[in-house]
Structure 1
Amino acid sequence: MTDDTGSILVKGANISFLWLEEDQQYYDNNQRVTQYLLKDKKEVLLIGNVSLEDNKAIVAYDDYNKTFGVGDIDEINLYNDSVPLLNQAKAYAAVFAVLMAIIIVTPTSMDGRKLDITKPNFSFLKLKNQKKKNLK
């Protein structure tokens, strides 16, 4: 791979292509082969393990981090910006689900204009634990 900054040898085994335009797909010896386009002047990000072999820079699959890929840098930046937001949304959804579960299992009753909220009965959990102890 060569650009304005220099060149590097890419050992393509186990490489993943992320958000790149697919050129064509065909079958060769019962294996599906997919070709991707690396367009001129399109910025891509190459991620992998960089080392020297015979005084030449090479990039290959990173056994330690289990990563090796090339992808559209704009799409990768968008993904990296959205991941923290998605993780935060998952955390809020989990807290909301727990609160909703507590509200659903809490017994309530109306007596005229008075709302009675009583302690939930979790005795069914105790019965399961006692059955497990008795089986041991």
Structure 2
Amino acid sequence: MEEVSNGIKILKVLKQIRDIMKQNMKYQFNKIDITGPQGMLMSMLAHHGKMKISDLSENLGLSNSTVSGIIDRLERQGLVERIRSIEDRRVVYVSVTSEFKKNAKEQLNEIEKKFEDMMNKATPEELNTIFEGLNTLKEVMDRNK
């Protein structure tokens, strides 16, 4: 039987982690009728206030067109709104609506608390190992860009 390469082992673990997080988020976000990516975007807006689409894209690690599509769907649901800059009409900001603030902010806080609770079960040493490992992986990958 062939030995599995280190790269494949790392990818498998990352996929398992992503699947666990995705499943947790899916369950929580379904409660407020949004998808995981929509929830991540909403959470970012809830914390940072209005943001440009390009900034959202960068922070979420998604293309501008993908983020724009997510915003389109959220806008149809009445959860976000696009706001043109007064200084430069080419700049478009996105912010959560007052409707969202009334109804869903509590749900997003619950989702974030659940993830925080999960991380709080780790010892300081485990958290340090996780941060070091993830930062090392990022450094290795950055060298190969």
Q: Which one has the bigger helix percentage?
A: 2
Fold equivalence (TM over 0.5): no
- Normalising by structure 2, we get a TM-score of 0.25
- Normalising by structure 1, we get a TM-score of 0.26
